[in-house]
Amino acid sequence: MKLFGRSLFFYWDNFVILLITYSAIIIPLEIALDSVSKSRTVLTINTITVFCFLLDLIFNFYHALKKETETNANSKQNSALTRKQRLYSYLKTWFIIDLISIIPYDLLIQYSFLHPSYEYLALARTLRLLRLLKIAQFMQKWGQTEFSNQGVMRLFYFVYWTGLIAHWIALGWIYIGGVPEKINDLPIDPNEPFTLYNIALYWTITTLTTIGYGDITPKTNIQRMYTMIVMIIGAGLYGYIIGNIANLLTNIDIAKTNFMQKMEKINTFMKYRRIPVELQNRINNYYTFLWENRKGYDESNIMDELPSSLRMKIALYLNKDIFEKIPIFKEASEDLISELVLNLKPVIFTPGDYIFRKGDIGLNMYFISRGIVEVIDEDKEHVIATLTDGNFFGEMALVFSAPRNASIKALDYCDLYTLDKETFDKVIVNFPDFAKSIEEKANKRFKNHVTENK
């Protein structure tokens, strides 16, 4: 079943990530702060979380069984075997963690007869955090599908994990009694969880960032050892940040950075060669349009690097709307589309550009994906026709092997696709229906031309 084009499992997986993150925040809070562990709201949410983890375990079983039935439907024996293998690997790995995380520690603590082991039971809850191991796996999958930019993904991971680690360290500091009774002679109320947490987080951040004001210091051996460990983590983290953050930030939008660098080069060149301002503006407008519509990527360059099978698939996808938009392609056979798809090249023109002039030698024809062009007879200085989305032009020179019989001027930003003469000639021979409709149009336009010139 799908919702907004995605399978329900996608939403479920993200919901489970949210619940794991919630557990990673709340469980240490419960261990360190009594008032949180006694809250009925927390108990209710925790019980719901455990129930959802149980559902997740069931879904994982279902997934392990279902996937193989879909992919190996052709061989029953093989399917049974691989299903078994899949199930076995699940049982060997994540199942144990999933099972541990569905033990309802909170309910046991509230209503158990296991009073003597209360402390251990509270700590046993942390076992549910083993599920965090799953987050790394989830996030990898998530990162590949949801973030088109790896820089943003890395920054997101970094913030996520640093936030969680700082939270745990702060709660650890409370747990080992690191928050003093007085700071700067002002007493701290030990029954106010927010103040305690705030002070502990403040200590954590000052220690992790190696700022260390020294207003909160370790008093016991355990606290001193804990501080040393946090200092070492802080030094590592600091090194990581200094080493990576500049890189991370520049990589957040690689496409934009590359594009800006390219624009800088072009602008410096234009200024150095004293290109007229009006022309500079047109060039800038062209690149701005390219950026807004294609994020600065030159499709042809990217396509050329791909193996032919992938190139065909991606070309079919990219040119999908042109085949839907342009009437003569609507009835085209699959063979014709495959022939055309790899040979149609996207080009962009800005308002006022002449795409070609009357009398030029015709080496391509054009299909308008988006935009408006004027067909102009420059000798008579009059507009013969205006063509827009879904139309084509430049076919007459190819059909009649003659020079262009009119000039074509872009009135707006035009997204066009060109088809070169060589492919055109091949297509005309192999696909007579397509040839017929183009030739009919060319003849009709030619007749119009003759009557107009009389």
Residue 301 CB, nearest approach to ligand CMP (Å):
28
Residue 369 CB, nearest approach to ligand CMP (Å):
16
Q: How many residues does the chain have?
A: 454
Residue 410 β-bridge partners: 373
Rounded Cα–Cα distance for residues 175 and 163 (Å): 18
Instruction: Using DSSP, state whether 373 is helix, strand or coil.
Output: strand
Residue 384 makes contact with ligand CMP by CB under 6 A: yes
Among 375, 410, 416, 419, binds ligand CMP (CB under 6 A): 375
Residue 445 makes contact with ligand CMP by CB under 6 A: yes
Residue 356 CB, nearest approach to ligand CMP (Å):
7
Of 105, 100, 113, 117, whose CA–CA distance to 47 is shortest?
Answer: 105
Nearer to ligand CMP, 406 or 419 (CB): 406
Among 28, 172, 234, 394, binds ligand CMP (CB under 6 A): 394
Residue 405 makes contact with ligand CMP by CB under 6 A: yes
User: Which window, 130-138, 232-240, 251-259, 387-395, contacts ligand CMP (CB under 6 A)?
Assistant: 387-395
CB 404, CB 362: distance < 8 Å:
yes
Nearer to ligand CMP, 199 or 365 (CB): 365
For residue 204, what are the contacts with CB-CB under 8 A and spacing of at least 6? 166, 169, 170, 173, 230
User: Which window, 97-105, 151-159, 193-201, 442-450, contacts ligand CMP (CB under 6 A)?
Assistant: 442-450
Among 171, 196, 397, 416, binds ligand CMP (CB under 6 A): 397
Residue 404 makes contact with ligand CMP by CB under 6 A: yes
Q: How many residues contact ligand CMP, by CB under 6 A?
A: 16
For tokens 């007749």, the residue is: 447
Q: What are phi and psi of 368, to 5 degrees?
A: -95, 115
Please state whether beta strands 354-356 and 407-410 pair in parallel, antiparallel, or not at all (unpaired): antiparallel
Nearer to ligand CMP, 153 or 344 (CB): 344
Residue 116 tokens, joined: 């003597």
Residues 310-369 that bind ligand CMP (CB under 6 A): 362
Measure Cα distances from 174 to 31, 33, 102, 314 in Å: 10, 8, 27, 56
From the CA atom positions of the chain, what is the Rg in Å?
Answer: 34
State the residues that interact with ligand CMP by CB under 6 A.
Answer: 362, 375, 384-385, 393-397, 404-406, 408, 445, 448-449
